């Protein structure tokens, strides 16, 4: 058996450590590159579409027609439907949120006997979000109202999704 030169052990350990470090570093880099290219299901990730391009693709007309149909009117007065990005400020910091926003003019003149108790009625979005990985925006649409003697409330009547990949809307009523 050959004698080990003790003065060389430190050098051997250092070389092994350097090799292991470079191996693990390269392995981590490869894993990171793979995770940047693949989603949780192992499919290749798509590059996010820029906000300006999303706005060019976005078609609000089918949603406007669906809302009017569900409300039983030809057209919702002053209905504005946008795909936009806004900065939400809070004490925890600013958050950027993209999604579909909806706001109509006051519809009180279309409500008949409801004018006696309501000051204003609007079509608005209630909840909304945008999935950047799937390029799908969703929202809930509601009638929001203000009572004559104060207070507000609302009721959701429609959920809608817009798929920016297929450029198609999907709608579902609350009780469907």
Rounded Cα gap, residues 153 and 112, in angstroms: 19
Q: How far is CA 114 from CA 4, 146, 147, in A?
A: 97, 11, 10
Say if residue 39 is in the same domain as residue 60.
Answer: no
| pTM of model > 0.85 | no
- Which residues in 17-30 are b (16+ Cβ under 10 Å) and which e? eeeeeeeeeeeeee
Say if residue 38 is in the same domain as residue 97.
Answer: no
Say if residue 107 is in the same domain as residue 169.
Answer: yes
Say if residue 108 is in the same domain as residue 161.
Answer: yes
pLDDT at position 174, please?
78
| Domain interval for residue 78 | 51-173
Say if residue 109 is in the same domain as residue 151.
Answer: yes
Say if residue 28 is in the same domain as residue 93.
Answer: no
pLDDT at position 38, please?
56
pLDDT at position 6, please?
57
Say if residue 20 is in the same domain as residue 55.
Answer: no
Say if residue 24 is in the same domain as residue 101.
Answer: no
Say if residue 98 is in the same domain as residue 117.
Answer: yes
Say if residue 132 is in the same domain as residue 61.
Answer: yes
Number of domains in the chain: 2
Say if residue 21 is in the same domain as residue 55.
Answer: no
pLDDT at position 29, please?
60
Q: 158 and 172 in contact (C-beta within 8 Å)?
A: yes
Q: Mean pLDDT of residues grouped by 10 in the chain (176 residues)? A: 56 57 55 55 67 87 95 94 79 79 93 90 92 90 92 94 94 83
pLDDT at position 132, please?
84
């Amino acid at each position: 058996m050959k004698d080990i030169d003790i003065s060389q052990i430190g050098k051997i350990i250092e070389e092994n450590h350097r090799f292991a470090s470079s191996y693990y570093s390269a392995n981590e880099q490869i894993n990171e590159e793979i995770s940047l290219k693949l989603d949780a299901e192992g499919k290749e990730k798509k590059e996010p579409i820029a906000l300006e391009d999303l706005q060019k693709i976005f078609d609000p007309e089918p949603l406007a027609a669906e809302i009017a149909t569900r409300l039983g009117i030809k057209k919702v007065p002053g209905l504005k439907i946008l795909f936009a990005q806004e900065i939400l400020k809070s004490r925890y910091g600013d958050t950027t949120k993209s999604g579909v926003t909806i706001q109509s003019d006051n519809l009180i003149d279309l409500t008949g006997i409801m004018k006696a108790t309501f000051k204003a009625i609007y079509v608005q979005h209630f909840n909304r979000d945008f999935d950047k990985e799937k390029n799908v925006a969703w929202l809930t649409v509601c009638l929001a109202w203000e009572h004559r003697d104060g207070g507000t409330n609302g009721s959701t009547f429609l959920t809608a999704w817009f798929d920016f990949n297929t450029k198609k809307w999907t709608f579902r009523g609350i009780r469907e």
